[in-house]
Amino acid sequence: MSTLRLGAYNLPAAEVVLVQTLFRLFAHGDAFRWTFVTAPPYDALLVDGTRPEGTKPEVDRMARAVLRLVRMNGGDAQNTLERPIRADRLQEWLKQIEHDLLTTLQAASGPDDHAAPLMAASPVRFKLRRWPPATLLRGDPHRIRMATMLSRRALNAAELATISQQPAEACQAFLMTLQTTGLVDVRGEAQPRPAPSASQPAKAAPAKPAFARSLISGIRKRLGL
């Protein structure tokens, strides 16, 4: 998973601008996986918890994690953040959600620690059969760039990572998603057949069965040959 998506629901415009500014600051740090988006799908969602619409159950179904903004001294319940928004509290919550989401993803994919490097080194290549839908690309410029490359030529995960300059695990995840949804043709490299060596001469053609020789001999005698 290369990028996680945070959105906002019914937040005042000033708070949206504040969060966008904080994200630009967070992005200068190491391994910040989050991006702020204005349209679904969302991995996490910021909601105004002081409004009635922000407490409805359907809001919780809009994302895998929901953080509700509450008034100052409004309590310290789980998945709530008191106003005014503090950068350290927001970043701490994002890191916790990121950890939970990645743990869930790894558990779903299985315990095989060698799957990622094996896929990166695999000779199997992938080429786009048709352009992915917007819900899969998520408006992510990195995914759009990788899809463009795969539409032009067949690539494996390692080649895609090198050309797109994206992490190998992000390329692997993207290729797996494309393969699962049937959007790519999978092409394997055929292994060349080794030429026979002097110590290993080519096999001679198998001899004809005895019954075939006797049948031909009988026909030749009848014809007087």
Whole-number Å distance between alpha carbons of 193 and 186: 22
- DSSP one-letter code for 199: T
Q: Are 157 and 175 in contact (CB under 8 A)?
A: yes
- Asked if residue 1 has pLDDT above 70, the reply is no
% pLDDT > 90, the chain: 30
Q: Is the bond preceding residue 40 a cis peptide, omega within 30 degrees?
A: no
Dihedral angle of Cα 161, 164, 170, 175, to the nearest 10 degrees = -80
Which amino acid appears at position 68 of this protein? R
pLDDT in tens, 182-219: 888 888 644 444 444 444 444 544 444 454 455 556 55
The domains of the chain, with CATH numbers, are 4-109 (3.40.50.2300), 115-187 (1.10.10.10)
| pLDDT score at 176 | 79
What is the chain's mean pLDDT, rounded? 78
pLDDT of residue 70: 94
pLDDT of residue 214: 57
Q: pLDDT over 70 for what percent of the chain?
A: 72
Cα angle: 115, vertex 120, 122; to 5 degrees? 90
Model pLDDT for residues 98-115, shown as the tens digit of each residue: 888 877 665 555 544 444
15 has pLDDT over 90: yes
Per-residue pLDDT at 220: 56
Q: What are the tokens at 79?
A: 């998945």
Whether the per-residue pLDDT at 169 is higher than 70: the answer is yes
Q: Is residue 88 pLDDT above 90, yes or no?
A: yes
Checking if the pLDDT of 171 tops 60, the result is yes
Kindly report the backbone phi and psi dihedral angles of residue 52, in degrees, each rounded to the nearest multiple of 5, phi listed first: -60, -40
pLDDT digits (tens, 9 = 90+) for 44-54: 999 999 999 88
Q: Which of 34-38, 81-85, 131-135, 201-205 has the highest mean pLDDT?
A: 81-85
